[in-house]
Amino acid sequence: MKTRITELLGCEYPIIQGGMAWVAENNLAAAVSNAGGIGLIAGGNAPIDYLRDQIRKCKEKTDKPFGVNIMLMSATADDLAQLCIDEKVAVVTTGAGNPAKYIPAWKEAGIKVIPVIPSVALAKRMERAGADAVVAEGTESGGHIGENTTMCLVPQVVDALEIPVIAAGGIADGRGMAASFMLGAEGVQLGTRFLASEECQIHAIFKELIIKAKDTDSVVTGRYTGHPCRNIKTKFSKKLASGEKDGSLTPDEFEVLTLGSLRKAVQDGNLDEGSFLCGAIAGMIEDVKPCEAIVKEIMEQAEKLLNR
């Protein structure tokens, strides 16, 4: 399947792995890129030495293009942005902010720049700032989210821009990919589906939560802090949600409780204190598979549906 995204990124399939903080490391990124998609390593809040090491390990595991996600709220974002240039990373995606100040230097270095955006206004700003494509991310996504749904957001972003659009949020199989293409997207970004992959290094308890999740098992917490986050329902996320609703947790107390909670979920599988970020599509995911099988199945199903 050729689209402007496969042309732009030099990959076989227009499937991009989400840049999930603490999750998206070199083994997962290399596996997705080796499967013909685009794997990403998440910068998150990591120090520069960690990300350099991850990029170099990924280069040893694949000769295919892969990328880095820069989380713009991170204190290390400036350093990580420069590191992508120094390490000649093929693609950079960004999240949780406006990357405009970095775009000229990335473009100068030949890096393909793909901001993740939750609204048409931001998408237009990114196109004007020189982005090569955008990821239009609906509120079905895991982690830090905007308000609009994938179904509503994607066609509006497609209509507003000339550059290609990648759909994200609630996509985990070929039906979701085909639907995204009917909305005008030329690629898809998947996070939650790759959480339940063999190469993903998250704690076994995290994978089990995804496999066992039902349609109603995700919850958005933290709207009142200005950083709404979608998680799997656990004792901890339910405590946060009820504390937010009934006022028994102040926004400051909420921030203290959630500080470091993503690491506790990903590395420790800590159900009492961990934030298990994941998308609303988790209920549809029933097995842990190699990334290659995930990509192949999605492509076969999407191509069949789109060729009907």
The residue ranges that bind ligand TUI (CB under 6 A) are 21, 71, 73, 95-98, 116-118, 122, 137, 143-146, 227, 277
Sequence-distant (6+) residues with CB within 8 A of 174 are 297, 298, 299, 300, 301, 302, 303, 304, 305
Least distance from C-beta 12 to ligand TUI, angstroms? 25
**For residues 24 and 299, which CB has a smaller minimum distance to ligand TUI in the complex?**
24
**For residues 205 and 220, which CB has a smaller minimum distance to ligand TUI in the complex?**
220
Least distance from C-beta 93 to ligand TUI, angstroms? 8
Least distance from C-beta 193 to ligand TUI, angstroms? 16
**For residues 188 and 302, which CB has a smaller minimum distance to ligand TUI in the complex?**
188
Least distance from C-beta 135 to ligand TUI, angstroms? 7
**For residues 143 and 164, which CB has a smaller minimum distance to ligand TUI in the complex?**
143
**For residues 36 and 146, which CB has a smaller minimum distance to ligand TUI in the complex?**
146
Least distance from C-beta 305 to ligand TUI, angstroms? 27
Per-residue tokens: 222: 């933290």
Least distance from C-beta 68 to ligand TUI, angstroms? 13
Three-state SS across the chain?
A: CCCHHHHHHCCCCCEEECCCCCCCCHHHHHHHHHCCCEEEEECCCCCHHHHHHHHHHHHHHCCCCEEEEEECCCCCHHHHHHHHHHCCCCEEEEECCCCHHHHHHHHHCCCEEEEEECCHHHHHHHHHCCCCCEEEECCCCCEECCCCCHHHHHHHHHHHCCCCEEEECCCCCHHHHHHHHHCCCCEEEECHHHHCECCCCCCHHHHHHHHHCCCCCEEEECHHHCCCEEEECCHHHHHHHHHHHHCCCCHHHHHHHHCCHHHHHHHHCCCCCCCCECCHHHHHCCCCECHHHHHHHHHHHHHHHHHC
Least distance from C-beta 75 to ligand TUI, angstroms? 12
What values do phi and psi take at 126, rounded to 5? -70, -40
Least distance from C-beta 100 to ligand TUI, angstroms? 9
Per-residue tokens: 37: 């998609």
